[in-house]
Structure 1
Amino acid sequence: MIGPFRVTLVDDYATALPLLRSVREAVFVREQGVPLDIELDAADPQCTHVLAFDPDGHAIGTARMTPERKIGRMAVLSDWRNAGVGAALLQALLRRARENDWTQVFLHAQAGAVDFYRRHGFVAHGERFMEAGIEHQEMRLALDQPQPVIDRAAAIAVASDLVTGARRGLWVHSRTLDPGLFDDRRLLDAFRELATRRTPGLEVQVLLHDASVPARTHAPLLRLAQRLPSVFAFREVSDPVDRAQAAAFMANDAGGYYYRALGHRFEGEAERHAPGRARQLADGFKSAWERSRPCSELRALGI
């Protein structure tokens, strides 16, 4: 099983260059056949770079963002693909873009990566074209408006980002810990990583409409919470007003949210940095939490 990884912003380009090149040349030059003389360009020293490292400190992924707001050079070593590394690299660059008060970024996605970027809210613009002998598609992301979530893959991507991005608080309002979402391995790994950070005061509060369903089906998130009872707390809504609520959502204390008007569906909207909207959802959650009952049947499981 692939272990944990970490992502950091590059502070010193000259010092990090050998690590950046080790990943990019392995992926772009040796694997994809991109000529070495165009892989490293004159813009590289002026870019914002991020690196991903495995538990032993070896570089396993990288990406960059130019002053012109273009994200590129996204590369992850083959052994670490489909483990969330690319998503973590992308989100690190998007956080920096928001810190710069940018309202939009763009990229040239390889044809095989279009769906990956679409799940993170990027929208295709124009016709596909060839670049370095590989088919590409220009894609853009508006940073100052909600991202539509249209399917399960996008829901898992945004939910995982919200969990990973939480600092000390995460609020989850779900009807029954939706199968297909809260039992996904990537999302569970994000919950596990958050819960094992040993952050003082960290709490994940989960408000359910029907606690009997995840208890009866032995939902994986319940099993994780059983092992980490100091972090997770569960309650079930009891007030008729709350029980009539059809929506479901997640919000974190870093200003991110994922809202679904119909809680039994994946479709909804999300923003990774919308403090006002996230705070509004969190305040409503806390009011409903106070009106709800502790789940004694879940405590019997050790939660």
Structure 2
Amino acid sequence: MSYNKPPYQITSEVLSLLTKVSEQIGAVNALHLNRPQTELRKANRIKTIQSTLAIEGNTISQEQITALLNNKRILALQKDILEVQNAIETYDNLHTFKPFQLKSVLNAHKTLMNGLIKDAGALRSGNVGIVKGSQITHVAPSGNMVPHLLKELLEYVKIDKDPILIKTCVFHYEFEFIHPFADGNGRMGRLWQTILLMKTYPVFEYLPIESIIKADQTKYYEALNKSDNLGQSTPFIIFMLGCIAKALDELIERPSAAPDQGSRILLFKEVVGKEHFTRKNYLQHFKGLSTATASRDLKVATETGVLQKTGDKNSSTYHFS
């Protein structure tokens, strides 16, 4: 399928932010922070869910989401609880969604909005305008154009040669502009940008960009409106790359972000797959790790059945079960 490239400009400010984010991702990979410690991953996921729903008016706190995850009862509006439960299920299944498939977008919306609107998982067929106060701030394309526009947008992200970091920001803006669903477009746009980024950069699975957006919520809407008025997504690209840079800064500067034993083993599995390897290979990947810590990592993984060990002492080789 051919596509019309959405309008935007790669300005000097966009290039500067792109360079900064690319360098930060390099630092994340060098420090092996693309799969941070289990507790930090859990905390960041809770922060993501709370923030993306708070932007839409949900009042449930991070502490209450933690309680829900631990199957405890909380006092809150039933609608807010359902929004959180749906979001937990959706984010738990991030890897099952196919980034460039319209059917997968519909499936994610169905999970995210299940029980909240009657047509969850279905594109809108009617026309819609977005009202702020007493003013219509945005008139979305007519309902009969939505399927084609969304397919074209996914095709653009898939095959266009511009950097994926830029393309996902463009997707996020254009998704909000198309407004493909009767409700849930904001949380879906943020979710799908994460899914698109994860495909190239695994760190984005646990990076709570939504909490940065929530802190700058007024600027988020200003960037959307500026892009609407200009007829191109450049202001929104600049805003979102800035949010991504802030989120990466927070991860890099966090002292407890370095991966623990279980996370290191999972990271190494992504590198070696089913190949056999030695402790020396493991140490070469995790530069700065002591021999004793590497031995302990491999011993724990072998005892728990994650690794199979052949040979003894210095001649030992390992492979993933």
Q: Give the structure-2-normalised TM-score.
A: 0.28
Q: Give the structure-1-normalised TM-score.
A: 0.29
Q: Which has the larger radius of gyration?
A: 2
